[in-house]
Amino acid sequence: MSESISRRKFLCIAAGCAAAASVAGCSDITHTSFFRHNFRDMTPDELKKIIADLEREHSATFGKQVLVGVDPPMDGVSFAYALDISRCIGCRRCVYGCVGENNQSRDPQIQWIRVLEMNKEKGIDFQEANPYYDAEEVPRPGHFYLPMACQQCENPACVKSCPVGATWREKDGIVVVDYDWCLGCRCCLSACPYGARRFNWGKPTLPAEEMNPDTHYLGNRPRPKGVVEKCTFCIQRTRRGKYPKCVEVCPTGSRKFGNILDPESEIRYILEHKRVVVLKNELNTHPRFYYFF
Amino acid sequence: MAYGPGITWGDVGKRLPVRAAAALAGAILCLGLSAGGATAQEAPPRHTVPVDSMVFETPPPPFRDPDIFPCSQCHNADMPPNLQRRQLVDMHDDIVLKHDEEHRWCLDCHDAQNRDRLHLANGTLIPFEQSYKLCGQCHGDKYRDWRAGVHGRRTGEWNGKKQYLLCVHCHYSHEPKFKGLKPLAPPIPPGRKP
């Protein structure tokens, strides 16, 4: 591991020198993103400097005070999510709540949550699922709805597939991406059995007035072109005790979130009292996203 | 957090009809079984607060006409209650009951003597702010999930203070079926411009 890091470091420096030579006088953020370490290897001083650079750069871009948090995992906390598929009506309020909260690109369109419309006669069958449904009113007769986002697996295939260690599972169960370490190789996109990861094929566009300035380094800070992103359980909210945005905007209350280690939590009540399924159980990914009914 | 996980002997008593409960108690006594009580003591229920005394903080009840409450503005001493089950024509004729309407009518939930209160089946008066107790009489499974934070929308903190909603914030009491919504725009299929 140390060998690959040092090799990468060398390549980074070489590429950085070349880039620095060609774009002399570029912004601070370009320098820091070339010469910095992986988020997990940063010294506190380095992190502080990078956060200051990021905040300055984003504040200038969006014309408002942007904060980049680095809240660590809480002790004794492991997150889990549950979704009531008998109650979800497929209204997509969660999709757009998430887009706004997490600064997802409007064009090219990036949406972390995808709501699948399924036929009640077929059950959970991804070949029959339709994400592009539109109607005057949902739920449509004979259908049920299954929103999909990152399943925050305990045994994540995406993490194992990353050749550079730009994505990993945090202690509280959130699988995160270091956007400045990501190469954009998209191995994780093909490895994920749930289609939960999104790639920035173009430069993300984000209207300044709609930009959420309360960000997290590993979460909803603005992303560059050419990197992978995905649901982080709203890391900027949940590590401060708040519910994820999708939980708060769901008009039917189908979405539940909490600490799986707390026996009094809503999640534990669901696991102990409801019929719970995980998607693609046979793949041994151990999702932390439970569907119940 | 407070919710009722398993069924305890106390709960069995509450859920069974009185006669059945008496018969059960009699059977236990006749057989001289003291083990039932002992089991309950060994495994105390997770919560010790009786359900009846639980009070949840909720936003104020969503009256359709904000000036309609208190009801005693009109339903006062000058208007003696008419206990005859009937179709309302003079007032409240906009309310169409679609909630087990064959068997129930206004005064099954609204109290005839004190119109500013609702009443439970046992006659206990409750304020509109605690209408979940009334709903919970029939919809006990939903009430149990709601108390646990599993039925209905919660906002606030996953590890702290949560905001509850009353049943009637989502389910209009006289026609409780949840109304459908217009879905927001579908995603753009790959290769297509918005």
* Binary contact (B187, A109; C-beta < 8 A): yes
* A257 beta partners: A81
CA distance linking residue A148 with residue A112, whole number of Å: 8
Query: Does the bond joining A131 to the residue before it have cis omega, within 30 degrees of 0?
Result: no
Q: Between A109 and B48, name the one with better pLDDT.
A: A109
Report the gap between the CA of B138 and the closest CA in chain A (Å): 20
CA distance linking residue A33 with residue A48, whole number of Å: 14
Q: Between B28 and B86, name the one with better pLDDT.
A: B86
Residue A169 DSSP code: E
For residues A157-162, average pLDDT: 97
Query: pLDDT digits over A25-37, tens only?
Result: 445 555 566 788 9
Q: Which of B157, B181, B185 sits opposite A137 (nearest CB)?
A: B181
**B96 phi, psi to nearest 5 deg:** -110, 115
Question: B103 is written with which tokens?
Answer: 């068997």
Q: Which residues contact A113 (CB under 8 A, 6 or more apart)?
A: A94, A95, A98, A147, A148, A149, A231, A246
For residues A107-123, average pLDDT: 95
Q: Please tell me the pTM assigned to this model.
A: 0.82
Mutate which of B159, B161, B163, B182 to test chain A, going by most A C-beta atoms within 10 A?
B159
Element (H, E) at B141: helix B140-148
Report strand pairing: A255-259 vs A214-216: unpaired
* pLDDT on residue B14: 40
**A259 phi, psi to nearest 5 deg:** -95, 115
User: What number of CA atoms fall less than 13 Å from residue A50's CA on the CB side?
Assistant: 21
Tell me which chain A residues have a C-beta less than 8 angstroms from the C-beta of B148: 266, 269
Report the gap between the CA of B189 and the closest CA in chain A (Å): 8
B-facing residues of A in 140-199 (CB < 8 A) are none
CA distance linking residue B15 with residue B87, whole number of Å: 34
Topology (CATH level 3) of domain A79-293: Alpha-Beta Plaits (3.30.70)
Query: pLDDT digits over B129-172, tens only?
Result: 999 999 999 999 999 999 999 999 999 999 988 989 999 999 99
- Domain spans in chain B, listed from the N-terminal domain onward: 1-49, 55-170
* pLDDT on residue A252: 96
Asked if residue A91 lies in contact with residue B181, where contact means CB atoms within 8 angstroms, the answer is yes
* pLDDT on residue B5: 41
Query: Can you count the helices (H) and strands (E) in chain A?
Result: 9, 12
* A177 beta partners: A167
Q: Which residue type sits at A288?
A: R
Query: pLDDT digits over B44-102, tens only?
Result: 455 555 677 777 888 999 998 888 889 999 899 888 888 988 888 888 988 999 999 99
Q: Which residue in chain A has the smallest CA separation from B181?
A: A137
C-alpha dist (Å) from residue B115 to A12, A281, B75, B168: 76, 55, 7, 18
